[in-house]
């Protein structure tokens, strides 16, 4: 009887949460190919994530890199187009937590967290100051650059808008 209740709760949870927006999970560290040792594959990531029964996987992206010791490493981005994870799991992930996916019989696991893109450093919220020089036909040649004042910039913009 307990098994039937679990299945019913899972179905209700699945119906309720499949309407949630898609989720992208991040597996920051798995081994890549290192010499004769074969690294973690996309099929392995897919198999373990599918068996976790937390949603429908849309696609998986891989980023390969080498750590400080020269070990080939792979990071994975698992994209879900339907998320059916429990409310507790979703809350934990949204709050910066993670879950662990065991991948062998020796107790090894992958740490899995919600992917949150970092803000780009080269595009700050405030515009950068730029130096421009307004040159008209009648302007004398200038050896030194002198930035225009605010009034000159406003006039230039007004003139350009009238074109």
What contacts 105, CB < 8 A, 6 or more positions away?
A: none
- Assess whether pLDDT exceeds 70 at residue 85: yes
Q: What is the pLDDT of residues 151-161, one digit of tens each?
A: 877 877 777 76
pLDDT for the residue 157? 76
132: nearest Cα among 163, 153, 151: 153
Provide the token pair at 61. 């992206």
Q: What are phi and psi of 99, to 5 degrees?
A: -130, 165
28: nearest Cα among 120, 118, 110, 119: 110
Mean pLDDT over each residue of the chain, to the nearest integer: 82
Residues of the chain above pLDDT 90, percent: 58
pLDDT for the residue 156? 75
pTM (2 d.p.): 0.61
Q: How confident is the model at residue 149 (pLDDT cuts 50, 70, 90)?
A: confident
- Between the CA of residue 40 and those of 24, 86, 112, what are the distances in Å? 19, 27, 15
Q: How confident is the model at residue 22 (pLDDT cuts 50, 70, 90)?
A: confident
Q: What is the pLDDT of residues 96-136, one digit of tens each?
A: 999 999 999 999 999 999 999 887 776 556 666 777 767 77
pLDDT for the residue 136? 75
Beta bridge partners of 75: 63
CA separation for the pair 158, 163 (Å, rounded): 9
- Assess whether pLDDT exceeds 70 at residue 80: yes
pLDDT for the residue 140? 64
Q: Architecture of domain 2-114 in CATH? A: 2-Layer Sandwich (3.30)
Mean pLDDT across the stretch 45-63?
Answer: 95
pLDDT for the residue 30? 96
98 close to 112: Cβ distance less than 8 angstroms? yes
pLDDT for the residue 155? 79
């Amino acid at each position: 009887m307990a098994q039937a209740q679990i299945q019913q709760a899972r179905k209700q949870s699945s119906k309720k949460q499949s309407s949630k927006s898609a989720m992208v999970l991040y597996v920051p560290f798995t081994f890549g190919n290192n010499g004769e040792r074969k690294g973690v594959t996309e099929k392995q990531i897919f198999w373990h994530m599918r068996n976790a029964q937390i949603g429908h996987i849309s696609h998986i992206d891989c980023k390969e890199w080498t750590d400080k010791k020269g070990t080939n490493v792979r990071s994975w981005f698992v994209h879900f187009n339907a998320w059916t994870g429990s409310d507790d799991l979703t809350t934990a992930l949204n709050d910066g937590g993670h879950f662990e996916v065991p991948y062998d019989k020796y107790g090894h696991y992958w740490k899995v967290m919600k992917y949150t893109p970092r803000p780009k450093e080269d595009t700050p919220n405030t515009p950068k100051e730029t130096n421009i020089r307004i040159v008209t036909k009648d302007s004398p040649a200038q050896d030194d650059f002198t930035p225009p004042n605010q009034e000159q910039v406003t006039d230039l913009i007004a003139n350009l808008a009238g074109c």
